[in-house]
């Protein structure tokens, strides 16, 4: 059995992450995905959405209260990964996968077209025990 953290510890970690991400960006890219958030973004930037505030973490789950749509998407291509940044739009906080199922961020269609409107209805981040 590996290390397990309590719900209160996970919620505290998520609250700190929410403070960093409040007012940040949710950037959606095409392939290739970089090794991790410490690496420079790769692929084509397809959409750049604004993150508002977050609900208080509960039971190890963080929910974004509001997400500003990208009313004029930046590029065309097949979305495959995303990056959440701090308010400066540069400091990477976490990366995740994009897909139509079995991904961190689900869209009904992952083919994006420049100039279209991109919306994310809900966004949660969970920490495992």
pLDDT, tens digit, 9 for 90 and up, residues 4-31: 999 999 999 999 999 999 999 999 999 9
Decide: 49 and 2 in contact? Cβ < 8 Å: no
pLDDT, tens digit, 9 for 90 and up, residues 29-63: 999 999 999 999 999 999 999 999 999 999 999 99
Q: What are the residue boundaries of the structural domains of the chain, listed by start?
A: 7-126
pLDDT, tens digit, 9 for 90 and up, residues 72-126: 999 999 999 999 999 999 999 999 999 999 999 999 999 999 999 999 999 999 9
Decide: 79 and 112 in contact? Cβ < 8 Å: yes
CA angle, residues 46, 96, 86, in degrees to nearest 5:
75
Q: Is the pLDDT of residue 1 over 80?
A: no
| Sign of the four-CA dihedral 59, 6, 97, 90 | positive
Q: Supply the pLDDT for residue 107.
A: 96
Task: Of 73, 81, 82, 84, give the one whose Cα is nearest residue 112.
Answer: 73
């Amino acid at each position: 059995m590996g290390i397990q953290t309590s719900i209160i510890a996970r919620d505290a970690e998520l609250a700190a992450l929410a403070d960093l991400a409040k007012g940040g960006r949710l950037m959606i890219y095409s392939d290739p995905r970089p090794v991790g958030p410490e690496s420079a973004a790769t692929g084509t930037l397809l959409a750049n959405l604004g993150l508002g505030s977050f609900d208080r973490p509960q039971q190890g789950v963080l929910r974004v209260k509001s997400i500003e749509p990208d009313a004029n998407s930046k590029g065309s291509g097949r979305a495959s990964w995303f990056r959440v940044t701090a308010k400066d739009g540069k400091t990477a906080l976490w990366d995740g996968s994009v897909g139509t199922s079995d991904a961190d961020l689900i869209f009904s269609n992952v083919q994006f077209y420049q100039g279209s409107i991109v919306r994310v209805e809900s966004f949660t981040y969970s920490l495992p025990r």
